[in-house]
Structure 1
Amino acid sequence: MEIQKLNWAGIKLIFNNKTILIDAVEDFSYYKPVLGDAVEQVITFSDHLKADYILFTHLHLDHFDKGVIKKCLKQDGKLIVYSELEPWVRKHVENVEIVVLNLDETFTENGITFKPVFAMDGVGEIQSSWIVEDATNKIFHGGDTIWHNQFWRLGKENKDIDYAFLPVNGVVVNFEIIGLEYSPVPASLNLKEAFAAAHLLHAKKLVPIHYGLFTHEKCYIPQLFNGNDLERVSEEVGQEYMVLKDGEMLMEI
């Protein structure tokens, strides 16, 4: 198994010698008016990376990059899509084999099982989380979900999650510029919520995603934290974690 953290919420998995991308994004320029400029160098990978499977949690363009699909998906690769998103995906993506799954429905190929599960989007749009597993590894990817009441069920029904990739920036958004009324309630999990969610999922480790790369003083205001905060909340909740920087890899035999 190999896991690489990409930009923002993106990850690359290699299970059974097959490459899987989840929420892999290279081009964030469309959201610059509300996200601001990236505060660190964005990783480029699409010129050399070819994927057997591509998944995404929802259609926000910091999670869904048509350019990555076009450049990275192998000719015989598959785009795996939550059924509620299928109509929109087919409008934007052509000449690609699409596997459509309902919530909690599974698709297994090459010894790898994919399953979309319940998530709740921060601004009310359609979103799923993903569980991907092979015979020895299982990961949970939570996109930019907010807190919801299904983490208990998901933890009971999906045993032995090794790594839970969950958003942690607890961001308050002000997207009135695109017609969305302002709310002071965070639109993604904050740090403590992410640790609690990973604990309810019984994940061996939380891996924080969706933080650090973007901030905008008016439109996109994340919760800030540091290493001491991670240690404190980890001990308080009783949940282990590990930090992967953008581009960093985790390899296990």
Structure 2
Amino acid sequence: MEIQKLNWAGIKLISEDKTILIDAVEDFSYYKPVLGEAVDEVIRFTDEVEADYILFTHMHLDHFDKSVLKKCLKKEGKLIVYSGLEPVVRKVMDDIEMIVLDLNETFTENNITFKPVFAMDGVGEIQSSWIVEDLHTKIFHGGDTIWHNQFWKLGQENKNIDYAFLPANGVVVNFEMIGLEYSPVPASLNLKEAFAAAHLLHARKLVPIHYGLFAHEKFYIPELFDQEDLQKTSKDVGQKYLVLKDGEVLMDS
């Protein structure tokens, strides 16, 4: 499996000559008033990528980019959707072939298996995590999940996860402008929680995602960390990790 980190929480997988996108976003402009300006250059990939399968963890526009679906999904490609999100997705993308899966239900094609599993959104919206595996590699993608009590069970029921892509910015959000009361509790895993979740998943390595690219002094306040923090937390928790820069490719076989 070839794995490329895209922007923010996005990743691209290539397996069995098939291309898979998860939480792949190129246009963050809709959330600019909340997320602020991107601090690094955003990768442009939609002119080059033709996807056989597209998945997303939830409908926040920094994880679900309708333009990516329209530009990148092949004519015969499939949008794989967690059933909890199906009604909303059909309202905006009903002209695309969908494979709809309940939690823990699997779909296998071309020696690639897709499985949505439990996740918990920081502001109470519907979200799933995804497990994708081929004959050699298994990855877990956690979107922007918060800490929950199912990581133990997920680790027991899903053996041999190689890479756990988990959010790590522990962001505090202020969304009072859309009617949500302010809370100082982080709306995604922080660094220590990400390492602990990867450890409970028995992942060979944590790959942090959903950090570094955005911050807003009033509405979107992330927890910051550096290489020293990564090394210390890895040692404290007993969990190995791998940092992939946006655009970087990992070959695993």
TM-score (norm 1): 0.99
- Are 1:242 and 2:242 matched, yes or no? yes
SS at 1:95 equivalent: coil
Aligned to 1:192: 192
After TM superposition, list the pairs within 5 Å mapping 1:67-106 onto structure 2.
67-106=67-106
Aligned to 1:152: 152
User: Equivalents in 2 of 1:90, 1:82: separation in Å?
Assistant: 12
Aligned to 1:125: 125
Deviations 1:131-151 (A, max 9, x none): 000111100000000000000
- Are 1:51 and 2:20 matched, yes or no? no
SS at 1:70 equivalent: helix
Q: Per-residue deviation at 1:94?
A: 3.4
User: Equivalents in 2 of 1:117, 1:194: separation in Å?
Assistant: 17
Deviation above 3 Å: which 4+ runs of structure 1?
none
Aligned to 2:220: 220
Q: Which ranges of structure 1 fall in alignment gaps of 5 or more residues?
A: none
TM-score (norm 2): 0.99
Q: Which ranges of structure 2 fall in alignment gaps of 5 or more residues?
A: none
Output the amino acid matched with 1:90.
Answer: R
User: Equivalents in 2 of 1:235, 1:29: separation in Å?
Assistant: 38
Aligned to 1:26: 26
Deviations 1:65-103 (A, max 9, x none): 000000000000000000010000011113210000000
SS at 2:187 equivalent: coil
Aligned to 1:136: 136
Q: Percent identity?
A: 79
User: Equivalents in 2 of 1:175, 1:29: separation in Å?
Assistant: 17
Output the amino acid matched with 2:143.
Answer: G
The number of aligned residues is 253
User: Equivalents in 2 of 1:119, 1:94: separation in Å?
Assistant: 25
Output the amino acid matched with 2:174.
Answer: N
Aligned to 1:7: 7
User: Equivalents in 2 of 1:176, 1:37: separation in Å?
Assistant: 20
After alignment, is 229-238 or 174-183 more displaced?
Answer: 174-183
Aligned to 2:203: 203
Output the amino acid matched with 2:192.
Answer: K
Q: Per-residue deviation at 1:230?
A: 0.0
Deviations 1:94-124 (A, max 9, x none): 3210000000000000000000000000000
SS at 1:242 equivalent: coil
SS at 1:244 equivalent: coil
User: Equivalents in 2 of 1:11, 1:236: separation in Å?
Assistant: 27
User: Equivalents in 1 of 2:82, 2:18: separation in Å?
Assistant: 20
User: Equivalents in 2 of 1:178, 1:87: separation in Å?
Assistant: 22
